[in-house]
Amino acid sequence: MKALKKILLVLGILVLLIIVIGFCLPSKVRVERSVVIKAPANMAFDQVNTLKNWEGWSPWHHIDPKMQLTYSGPASGSGASYTWKSDNKKVGNGILTITASNPDSLVKTDMDFMDHGKGSADFTFTKVPEGTKVTWGMNSDMGMNPIARYFGAMMDKMVGSDFEKGLNNMKEVVEKMPPTSSNDIKVEETVTADMHTLTKRITCATTEISKKYGEVFGEIEASMKKNGLNQAGPPFGIYYSYSPEKVDMAPGIPTDKPGKDDGDILGIEMKAQNAVRVRYVGPYSKMMRVYDALGNYIKEHNKQVTGSPWEVYINNPMTEKDSAKLITEVYFPVK
């Protein structure tokens, strides 16, 4: 009997010790891996920012190529999402959503593993002499559960190898792709026409651009209806300044006759002017090379920029779900 009591006492002390040590372990855990890809940042960025591309490099897609995938929201960028279902215990079920997207520099995601908790991940893209350094990190909060904190202590070994496989898969995919270049983009000089417009100038985070466009276009359409105006061309957006964190822009719609100011909605007359233009077909995430081509042309031909650039959206991303078929015209006013 005494021996049994001693055994129970030792077991009790061990359990207590395990719990105490568990509480001493960190609750917040980060797993991070990096790889250098011999390619421009936009090529690696597009592999993460466009969710369907994950099928070509994600380690979990390789574990179960037959997993069921359902995509929702935009094809790329903030708000893009997919759910996955798999009978493989290493994959399971869940939802992944892009929560932030800064062109060629950062993508953030939230992951819901259903009964197995939630997490967040981020991808950063940094220019290095050899190409682009891609860093994949994941943050988890194990809370006050001491057992969960033990799992947190093992998280790096449990997930780190998957990150390494995924990044190396991405490296292989990207380095086999033909390089993107601004050399295949045709820049032309043109003279724009006089245009009546309604616009609204706003500032927002770059992650909110798509959402804000939808909101402002809805306000402008309501103002047009109230004042008997009709749309006279595709919608556009003037960009006064752009940084990875913040954009100052004015979404607008051409109208068939002059419009009056209506609260924050302004009636603007865009006068005919000289400009350089590119007609681009493809996803918005790859438009940086369009701006590079325009910038190079302006410099090489000794042009002087006389105002803010604007983009004209020839077709609607809400109805054209294939981002490769989106048509955008980009203008810079020059002299």
What is the rounded distance in angstroms from the CA atom of residue 150 to the CA atom of residue 193?
Answer: 67
Nearest alpha carbon to residue 204 among 236, 252, 241: 241
Strand arrangement, sheet containing 28-37? 28-37, 131-141, 118-128, 106-112, 94-102, 81-85, 68-72
In this prediction, residue 155 carries a pLDDT of: 64
**155 shares a domain with 31:** yes
- pLDDT grade, residue 2 (50/70/90)? low
Query: What's the predicted TM-score (pTM) here?
Result: 0.52
Instruction: Tell me what pLDDT residue 126 has.
Output: 92
Q: What is the pLDDT of residues 63-90, one digit of tens each?
A: 888 888 888 888 788 888 999 888 887 7
- CATH classification at residue 230: 3.20.80.10
Please check whether residues 200 and 292 belong to one and the same domain: yes
Is it the case that residue 214 has pLDDT exceeding 60? yes
User: For residue 156, how many other CB atoms are within 10 A of its CB?
Assistant: 16
Rounded to whole angstroms, the Cα distance separating 116 from 113 reads 5
Residue 19's pLDDT band, with cuts at 50, 70 and 90, is: very low
78 versus 9: which is more confidently predicted? 78
45 and 150 assigned to the same domain: yes
CB 62, CB 167: distance < 8 Å = no
| pLDDT score, position 10 | 46
More confident call, 179 vs 111: 111
Q: What is the residue range of 236's domain?
A: 183-333
pLDDT digits (tens, 9 = 90+) for 288-328: 889 988 988 898 899 999 999 999 999 988 888 788 888 99
138, part of any domain: yes
**Which pLDDT score, from 0 to 100, does residue 117 have?**
63
**In a shared domain, residues 99 and 189:** no
Domain CATH code at residue 31: 3.30.530.20
* Same-domain pairing of 75 and 201: no
Report whether 33 contacts 167 (CB < 8 A).
yes
DSSP assignment of 198-240, as one string?
A: EE--EEEEGGGHHHHHHHHHHHHHHHHHHTT--B-S--EEEEE
CB 69 within 8 A of CB 83: yes
- DSSP-assigned beta bridge partners for residue 132: 37, 127
Same domain, 188 and 329: yes
Q: Are residues 127 and 205 in the same domain?
A: no
Residues 247 and 163 in one domain: no
Report how many domains make up the chain. 2
Are 18 and 146 in contact by the 8 Å Cβ rule? The answer is: yes
What's the token pair of residue 99?
């929560």
Confidence (pLDDT) at 156: 64
